[in-house]
Structure 1
Amino acid sequence: MGRLNNGPNGGFSGKAGSYIGYNWKGGSYIRGLPRITKDRQPTPGQEAARAKFAYLNGWLKKIKALVAITFRSYSPKMTGLMASYSCNAKNVLGEFHDFQLNFPAFMISHGDLSGADNPSVKCKGGYTLTYNWEWLSGHQKASSIDNCLLLAIIPETGSFYVSFEGTRIKGTAKLPIRKAELGKVAEVYLAFVSFDRLKCSKSQYLGQVVVGGLMPEVGSRKSEV
């Protein structure tokens, strides 16, 4: 049995016949119940789409709490996890059973804050990634107290390292990596988040760094949305 909200002219919640009414993000919606067909096999296209979703979701769910902040402004009708999936679905390469994440295009945040000027990252010995950038005043969509969002992915282990360390005006920040990752390649990203956590910049991909190694310092390449 469904329940009318706000009288006969309002939306309803619950089940009514073959329909379900529900509220989401301040709006009222209605959808039909799925038709259940026993022994129905998914098409090859459906199987591939489900596998692609599962693959990308396996990466994104590890940073679910982070994308709840960094994709807040992507769409008012989506959760952060849904928005990050929508933004990154095209960044899954390969075929069924052989998917790969396109790390240079992968986005960890989305918004209209200004990004970093001339960013770079290095790891010369030790287990700490050192980020550097220039602070150029005059950006209309930037504040000196914006927090730095540092993120590194170790594809070999599937590990994520995240830190909100430092502020934009400092021009430098550090991200510690566990010693167990020695010699492994890290995919490195930088973004900025406003002090109140309500606004973000688009993430910038800074390239690959060998943890504890002496790979030459790399510069930034902005990820495409």
Structure 2
Amino acid sequence: MGTYNKGILGPFRGKVGPVIGYSWRGKDLMRGLPKESTVAATKAQLEQRAKFGTVIKFLTPIKGILSAYFGKEQKAKSPFNLATGYHLNEALLPGPDDTWLIDYPKVLISRGDLRGVDNPQLAVEGGLINLTWTDNSGLGSADATDLLIAVVYCTEMNEFVQFNPAATRADAVVQLAIPAYLSGSLAEVWVTFATAEGNLAAVSSYAGAVTVP
């Protein structure tokens, strides 16, 4: 991989001859095309590809939240890279026919040192998902103005509904309105707190599963 500022033809994107031009974190880069392998993938390689595909498909729709709240950049690893690595190692279950499934209770939508969500509870109320928690403002790093972020995943429809923010820490209750076309779906719910400035987040909590009213 090589970097350049003003090449003879200037920065470019895409494939040109034996090289690819692209931009990464504000830098113009070039790299050679990978050589096609004629060796069949091993079972371990196929397994890793299946795991990676499952995780990326699941996480990509919430990349914005993960990029904002899943820790701090570590050298060449972005928060989304860190989230991908965590879920590959900690949040997969073997499925049928060499497939892999997401272990929902182990999913994290954020990681950090902020005080987290205590005692999240879900209930269906008047066509809405009612989410409650214990107001722990003033304990440790917790502030009343911290923002509650909620992510709802409707499993049958493979669709996320994101609430960023949904409420403040001191509210202790919020009603989540899910689009009507998702009614009847089983929903997995995760919640977290972030500071009002967005520079610090908590380790998220799995709030449980509920059927969308």
Shorter-chain TM-score bucket reads: 0.7 to 0.9
For 1:109-140, what per-residue CA distance to the aligned partner results, in whole angstroms no more than 9, with x for missing partners? 111111122221211341x2221112134312
User: How far is 1:198 from its partner?
Assistant: 1.0
Residue 52 of structure 1 corresponds to 51
1:131-160 deviation per Cα after TM superposition (whole angstroms, max 9, x unaligned) = 111213431211111100011111111111
**Alignment-derived partner of residue 161 in structure 2:** 161
**Gaps (5+ residues) in structure 1?**
5-23, 26-31, 213-225
| CA shift digits 1:33-80 (9 cap, x unpaired) | 798364122111111101110111001111111111111427454212
**CA distance in structure 2 between the partners assigned to 1:185 and 1:120 by the alignment:** 16
Runs of 4+ in 1 over 3 A off after TM superposition: 1-4, 32-38, 74-77
Q: Tell which deviates more after alignment, 101-110 or 113-122.
A: 113-122
Whether 2:116 is the aligned partner of 1:115: answer: yes
Please report how far the alpha carbon of residue 181 of structure 1 lies from its aligned counterpart in structure 2 after TM superposition: 1.4
Q: Is the 8 A contact 2:189 2:209 kept in 1?
A: yes
Q: Match for residue 61 of structure 1?
A: 60
State the distance in 2 between where 1:74 and 1:168 align.
26
TM-score normalised by length of structure 2: 0.79
In structure 2, stretches of 5+ residues that fail to align are 5-23, 26-30
Query: Following the alignment from structure 1 to structure 2, what is the Cα–Cα distance between the partners of residues 54 and 61?
Result: 11
Structure-2 change in CA distance of 1:34 and 1:45 (3 Å): farther
Which residue in the other structure is 1:193 paired with? 194
Report the Cα distance in structure 2 between the residues aligned to 1:140 and 1:70, rounded to whole angstroms: 19
Structure 1: distance between partners of 2:3 and 2:111: 38
Give the 3 Å change call, closer, same or farther, for CA 74–53 of structure 1 in structure 2. same
Aligned to 2:143: 143
Q: For the residues of structure 1 that align with 2:37 and 2:184, how far apart are their CA atoms? A: 51
User: Do the aligned residues in 1 keep the contact of 2:69 with 2:201 (CA within 8 Å)?
Assistant: yes
> Counterpart in 1 of 2:39?
40
- Residues 167 and 35 of structure 1, relative CA distance in 2, 3 Å threshold: closer
1:124 is matched with 125
CA deviation string 1:13-32 (max 9, x = no partner): xxxxxxxxxxx88xxxxxx9
Using the size of structure 1 for normalisation, the TM-score is: 0.75
Report the CA distance between 1:174 and its aligned residue.
2.3
Q: Distance between the aligned counterparts of 1:50 and 1:117, measured in 2?
A: 36
RMSD: 2.7
Q: Evaluate the alpha carbon distance shift between residue 208 and residue 75 of structure 1 in structure 2; reply closer, same or farther with a 3 A threshold.
A: same
Contact 1:73/1:199 (8 A) holds in 2: no
